[in-house]
Structure formats: structure tokens, C-alpha cells
């Protein structure tokens, strides 16, 4: 390991500015470190060596020309794989999105590129950020650099492991219920969940929109402040982004002065569940703050006892809504049967349609039109009956009937004129008629009664009327395919 990768991000920035080393040398040192230890840590899903070197070369060229650069220009960074990156695979730790190349950058990635930070790659995570150990990633477990038999936390264990393992000096994480802070705690690094809305969520693959927030993962507090200055700020593309500015985190971190500061310790968060050693270190940190001049104040927030229950109502409901789009049809992994239609392509393939036999036997009159249908070319799409009868011919004749269809009662059929065209299925529980039908008001109220529903929607106790080919149209079950081009009320 070279000494370059052990420096803090602030020290790297100073070295780049002074010309002690170049951005290309710094980037190459981290890429060499990734190559050396990645087989043990598995902190990255994707490593973007070429892009990182190209950015580093651009920084060196700009610095040689005397251009003004951002404070962290040339300092490498890693990005959690839940943040979209234009031209680079983004998986959210799932095989469902394997190979997906986003067509745009998240706002925070745009900010990183504008500040000319070389992006080393995308870090591993629990699948769709659901986890706290980085053991549910589809790309293998990430290991804690301090002890390879232990977890690095989650869901952003890849970012924390990359920081702790000196694979990157800076990383981006996202935090819904602790996915930045908990990995930082178990890897001995610094993780900050910023105030909600202070860092744009545009371009984050959402888990729970009310709780998600991107933030910095670093090895020092000063580095976290420097990275927050890059990624933070108002974004009109994020409706929850806050316009109010925030204080100078970098200046506060560099002053390191807590004299006169009042620090609250919440009593409700000091209950059961703490490891004794963790509790001991926490008390020691309070003593150090007090010694440095801070005032420790014990405060009570009685409603905090409802926080966990509220979280487990909000998070699962929002996650189920946000992730519903990964259904294999709109987004996500698609496994198409070789000889069967998919859900949104219910008709046979063109070659099957072309060879479909023309037969009016055992056809469903729901899909019949007129006698001229007999001249329809065989290449026209066949019609299928929703009632599982054997009607699959292209355009069956009007004389054929479905074995599951029910006509109106004799008392009603006399008041309803047979339509000139067959009805369309309305997928409702009431009967509908074409515009050419004439129904008396009294008959209409009776036709729409629960007794005259589709056989799929009616109970077995309802009367079953005899069947004829000239019955008035009926509404069929929700599964019935609709006949296009026919009127309704």
C-alpha cells in the first residue's frame, strides 16, 4: 500500500494543489489498491477505471493551465450502486437491474462530475437497500476490512468497507433507517445522514421516499464536511429539496471548537439493547466533549418511543410502492417462455396467427361479428374466449355460441332488440348494450340487477337460463378480452 491512499481527503486536496503529486498518480494508487484487496473485501460491484483516469487527466490539464478548481478536484470518490450514473451500470445490488445503463446522472453525481472528482466505481449494497449487513446483495457479501469474518454493516456496507480498506478516500451512501451511520459505526469511519432535503434525491433508486437521503462516507469529520459541500444544495428537480442554505460545515469542522456548545443527550435512546462496550465508549465521548468545554444536557423526547413503530409502517408501505415497478414487464429481469405469450402479449406470435385454422365450430359468440367475417384473411389475429371454451378461430360465424354464456330471461328478451353488432365486454358486473339497442327504463333497471351478472361474477344460487345465439349482449368477467370498435352507453 502506498502512502497516498492513507491520506485524508483534505490532505490529498492540499497535495494536489501544491503539486506534490498529480490527480492521475492519486487515482492510479487507489485503483491499484482496489485491484489488490477487492478479492477479499468485495466492496465494489463495478469499477470504472477508464472514466476515473480520464477525469484525473482532465484535472491535471486544467491545473496546469491555471484554471480555478473545486477544493476536492482530483480526489477520487466511490458511489453507492443505488445512485444512477449515466453510461455506467447501476444495479441497486440486484440481478433484476444487472446490465441496466442509466441514460442520465443523479443530481449529486452531476455535482461530483462538475467538481471533477474521479469516480472509481459503484459500491456494493444490500439488494434495493433492504438490509443492514450487505449480505443480501446479488453480487456477494462485502467483508469488514478490520475482520474479514465480520460484516461491514448495511445497506451501504460497500461504501464503508471501501473507505475503511483505503480503496477510496470518499464515498457516497444513502440512509433510510441507518444505512450510512450503522456501517460507519462498525467500520470505524465517519458517516453522516444530512437533513432531509439538503441533498437532492433526484436519481436515487427509491426505497422509502419519505426517509431516503444521500450523504457522505469518509474517514474524518473534515472530509465529510468537504464532501457535503459538493453534493448538497437546492435542486429544482427534487420536490422535497429545501431552498434554505446551510452553514459552513467545513469551517466548523476545522475550528474543532465546542466551547460553550450545548449538546443534548436523549434519555429515551439510552435504554436496553446497547452492548456494554459501546455504552462505555459513548460515555467516554461525552466526557471528552465536556472536558473540551461543551455543556451536556439530558433531554426527554417522550414521543420517540413511537419512532420504531412509525418507521415500520412508513418504510414497508413506501418500499412496496416504489419497488412495484420492478415487475418484469415495465422494469426488471425478464424471463420469457419460449413457446408461450407474455402477460402483455396475450395473442400468439405472427407465425402462429398466420397458420391458425379457420373454423366456426365451438366458437364464442361474444367475439362474432357478421357473416362477412368468413372472408377475413387467416393472418388476422384469432379471438379467444375468456370462458375457456375452445374458441380460437380468427373470426367465427354468428351461429356459433359459447357454452358458458347466459341469455336474458324470456320476459326481458322481448323488450330488447337484437343489436346489429355484437356487444363489447365491459369487464364490469352490470350489462351494457350497444348504441343501436333500445331498452325501456323499466327493463334497464332489471337488466342491471345482480341477478343478471356474468356467470363468472354470479353465485351458483342464481338461475341459469337456456342459451341461444340471438340473446341480448351481456357483460362478462374481468378476464374476458374485449371486442374493439363497438359502442356502449
Please give the positions annotated as active site: 80, 155, 179
Rounded Cα gap, residues 53 and 334, in angstroms: 35
The residue count of the chain comes to: 489
For 180-200, b/e burial (b = at least 16 CB within 10 A) is bbbbbebbebbbbbbeebbbb
CB neighbours of 272 closer than 8 A, spacing ≥ 6? none
CB of 17 closer than 8 Å to CB of 150? no
- C-alpha cell read off for 280: 462505555
Query: How buried is 478 (Cβ within 10 angstroms: 0-12 exposed, 13-18 middle, 19+ buried)?
Result: middle
317-342: string of b/e by CB count within 10 Å (b at 16+)? ebbeebbeebeeeeeeeeeeeeeeee
Note whether 84 and 105 are within 8 A (CB).
Answer: yes
Q: With the C-alpha atoms ordered 7, 10, 14, 19, is the resulting torsion angle positive or negative?
A: positive
CA 199 to CA 336: how far, in whole Å?
Answer: 40
| Residues whose CB is less than 8 angstroms from the CB of residue 357 and which lie 6 or more positions away in sequence, other chains included | 393
Cross-strand bridge partners of residue 85? 88
The CA-based angle 307-313-319, given to 5 degrees, is 120
| Distance from the Cα of residue 95 to its chain's centroid | 13
Amino acid at each position: 500500500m502506498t502512502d497516498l491512499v492513507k491520506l485524508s481527503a483534505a490532505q490529498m486536496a492540499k497535495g494536489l494543489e501544491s503539486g506534490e503529486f498529480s490527480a492521475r498518480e492519486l487515482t492510479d494508487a487507489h485503483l491499484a489498491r482496489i485491484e489488490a484487496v477487492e478479492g477479499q473485501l468485495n466492496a465494489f460491484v463495478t469499477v470504472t477505471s477508464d472514466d476515473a483516469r480520464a477525469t484525473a487527466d482532465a484535472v491535471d490539464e486544467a491545473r496546469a493551465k491555471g484554471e480555478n478548481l473545486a477544493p476536492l478536484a482530483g480526489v477520487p470518490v466511490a458511489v453507492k450502486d443505488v445512485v444512477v450514473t449515466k453510461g455506467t451500470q447501476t444495479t441497486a445490488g440486484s440481478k433484476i437491474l444487472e446490465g441496466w445503463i442509466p441514460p442520465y446522472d443523479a443530481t449529486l453525481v452531476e455535482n461530483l462530475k462538475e467538481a471533477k472528482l474521479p469516480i472509481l466505481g459503484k459500491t456494493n449494497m444490500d439488494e434495493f437497500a433492504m438490509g443492514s449487513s450487505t449480505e443480501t446483495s446479488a453480487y456477494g457479501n462485502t467483508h469488514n476490512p478490520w475482520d474479514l469474518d465480520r460484516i461491514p454493516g448495511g445497506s451501504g456496507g460497500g461504501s464503508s468497507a471501501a473507505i475503511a480498506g483505503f480503496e477510496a478516500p470518499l464515498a457516497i451512501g444513502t440512509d433510510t433507517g441507518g444505512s450510512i451511520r450503522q456501517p460507519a459505526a462498525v467500520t470505524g469511519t465517519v458517516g453522516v445522514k444530512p437533513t432531509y432535503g439538503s441533498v437532492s434525491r433526484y436519481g436515487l433508486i427509491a426505497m422509502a421516499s419519505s426517509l431516503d437521503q444521500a450523504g457522505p462516507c469518509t474517514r474524518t469529520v473534515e472530509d465529510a464536511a468537504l464532501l457535503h459541500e459538493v453534493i448538497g444544495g437546492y435542486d429544482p428537480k427534487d420536490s422535497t429539496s429545501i431552498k434554505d442554505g446551510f452553514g459552513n460545515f467545513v469551517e466548523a469542522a476545522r475550528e474543532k471548537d465546542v466551547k460553550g456548545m450545548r449538546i443534548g443527550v436523549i434519555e429515551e435512546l439510552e435504554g436496553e439493547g446497547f452492548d456494554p462496550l459501546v455504552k462505555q465508549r459513548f460515555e467516554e465521548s461525552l466526557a471528552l466533549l465536556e472536558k473540551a468545554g461543551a455543556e451536556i444536557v439530558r433531554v426527554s423526547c417522550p414521543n420517540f418511543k413511537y419512532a420504531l413503530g412509525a418507521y415500520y409502517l412508513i418504510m414497508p408501505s413506501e418500499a412496496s410502492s416504489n419497488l412495484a415497478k420492478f415487475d418484469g414487464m415495465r422494469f426488471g429481469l425478464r424471463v420469457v417462455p419460449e413457446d408461450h405469450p407474455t402477460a402483455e402479449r396475450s395473442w400468439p406470435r405472427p407465425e402462429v396467427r398466420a397458420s391458425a385454422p379457420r373454423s366456426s365450430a365451438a366458437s364464442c359468440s361474444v367475439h362474432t361479428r357478421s357473416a362477412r367475417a368468413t372472408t377475413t384473411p387467416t393472418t388476422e389475429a384469432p379471438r379467444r374466449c375468456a370462458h375457456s371454451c375452445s374458441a380460437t378461430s380468427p373470426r367465427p360465424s354468428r351461429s356459433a355460441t359459447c357454452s358458458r354464456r347466459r341469455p336474458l330471461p324470456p320476459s326481458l328478451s322481448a323488450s330488447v332488440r337484437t343489436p346489429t353488432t355484437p356487444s363489447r365486454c365491459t369487464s364490469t358486473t352490470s350489462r351494457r348494450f350497444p348504441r343501436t339497442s333500445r331498452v325501456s327504463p323499466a327493463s334497464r333497471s332489471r337488466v342491471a340487477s345482480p341477478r343478471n351478472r356474468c356467470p363468472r361474477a354470479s353465485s351458483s344460487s342464481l338461475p341459469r337460463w337456456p342459451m341461444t345465439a340471438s340473446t341480448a349482449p351481456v357483460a362478462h368477467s374481468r378476464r374476458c378480452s374485449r371486442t374493439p370498435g363497438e359502442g356502449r352507453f
